Amino acid sequence: MDLRPVRVELTGSVLVMTIDRPTARNAVDRGVAKALSAALDYLETHPEITAGVLTGSGGHFCAGIDLEAFPTEGVPVVGELGLAGLTRRPLTKPLIAAVEGCAVAGGFELALACDLIVAGESAQFGLPEVQRGLIAGEGGAIRLPRRLPYHLAMDLLLTGDPMPATTAATHGLVNRLVPDGAALTTAMTLAARISRNAPLALAAVKEIVRAVTEDAAYAIQDPLYRRVSSSEDAQEGALAFAAKRPPRWQGR
């Protein structure tokens, strides 16, 4: 099934969803958000599918929100579900991120919203939002300190510096570190292995884990994110990115 700019392919009982916008390093604009949301609906509603894999084309996972479109489009949310309809969607089926190249900003948050992460050795993770006058607004600042030691999570969140996949794997953020180019096939094999387990049990495990709810954290995050993303700094950060120049606050 083709939901351009997202490709959807069923292999056995595993649905592979590929963000297919390689010229923009698979950055998420409204078109990608809408297509990815439809792909996730397909994953969730078809009983013959027992697990999903999320990946990107052209050697990258996802570069996050399309900052060149941000000044006019804003954050490309789908309803109340968060970025691309994924980051807060209560999926009952396991979802694995297959990461090559960059998984930064909203792309990293998409990966964090998955249940498992498989990454190529030279992949890079990062939340550079503060460098653009933004903050991680789709669960990155909520989930990252739960997956990394506090000081490492704060290093990524406050500096915006990238973390290599090798470091992420050392600290358990990446489940499988594989040679470059092997993330997708490894993720598909892992998804197929998980799919052999009872669907009811898989769904129950996810429901139990979600019972330790993130709702309270989102209630704090969302007003702050709206305030920051609508600020003059956020607009300046996006415009500076598009113009390939430093944002004005670096000269303060």
List the catalytic residues. 109, 129
Query: Which position has the token pair 């990946």?
Result: 55
DSSP line for the chain: -EETTEEEEEETTEEEEEE--GGGTT-B-HHHHHHHHHHHHHHHH-TT--EEEEEESTT-SB--B-TTTHHHH-S-B-TTS-BTTTTT---SS-EEEEE-SEEETHHHHHHHHSSEEEEETT-EEE-GGGGGT----SSHHHHHHHHS-HHHHHHHHHH---EEHHHHHHTTSSSEEE-TT-HHHHHHHHHHHHHTS-HHHHHHHHHHHHTS--HHHHHHHHHHHHHHHTSHHHHHHHHHHHHTS--GGGG-
Cα-to-chain-centroid distance, residue 7:
17
Q: What is the number of other CB atoms lying within 10 angstroms of the CB of residue 106?
A: 31
What region does 60 belong to: left with phi over 0, alpha with psi -120 to 50, or beta? beta
Q: Which residues contact 95 (CB under 8 A, 6 or more apart)?
A: 43, 51, 52, 53, 54, 113, 114, 115, 116
